[in-house]
A and B are shown apart, each in its own frame.
Chain A
């Protein structure tokens, strides 16, 4: 069974702070790792993906991957109220389908 685990939250941070979101996965054969943002009632929106160990930065977002620990994280710098959403961690298997975590709800307080 391929599991992707996330804390459901909510994670509350003040505006301007760094939000840190975490995800673990069970299958060492996982190939690519993704962070999606989902607003209530909307479809998941791709933020970024990573497939090599280490960090990948894109604007205010940094994804971190540690395959040995089977751990993926997302850092959001200078958090804004508009970042308030549910963040979904997803893992790609067989270069094809995704397994999603249940998501972490982030609240950024003005």
Chain B
């Protein structure tokens, strides 16, 4: 069964450093998402992406965050200057067609630890 893959599985970075989290969505999918989950808290929406542009973003997704689809397969989340409170699990997801009632599949996640 096709799956969304994320790398790395765990990243440790120093506060103030830039990090790039990578995702390979399912190949024929067109809509892409990032969510995050701080330990012990809810899964929170960050951003949705379609047709090479952001379609929606949450309040969390400030100027420190950016997303990109640099080639036909990867979908990346960049945090420019990490803060301690960015420590969380980050999940990527994709859908073939947006606007549907169905759910989407999450990747296995990247655990980001900012020290």
Chain A residues with CB under 8 Å of chain B are 31-32, 34, 36, 41-46, 49, 51, 88, 90, 92, 94-103
Contacts and interface: CB of A to CB of B under 8 A. Distances in A.
A44 B43 contact: yes
18 contacts: A31-B101, A32-B101, A43-B89, A43-B106, A43-B109, A44-B43, A46-B103, A49-B101, A49-B103, A94-B56, A95-B99, A96-B56, A98-B43, A98-B103, A99-B45, A100-B42, A100-B43, A102-B41
Interface residues of B, number: 26
B103 A101 contact: no
A8 to B, nearest CB: 10
Contacts of B101: 31-32, 49, 51, 92, 95
B20 to A, nearest CB: 19
Interface in B65-115: 89, 91, 98-109, 111
B102 A96 contact: no
Contacts of B56: 94, 96-97
A44 B102 CA distance: 15
Contact of A95 (B43, B44, B100, B109): B100
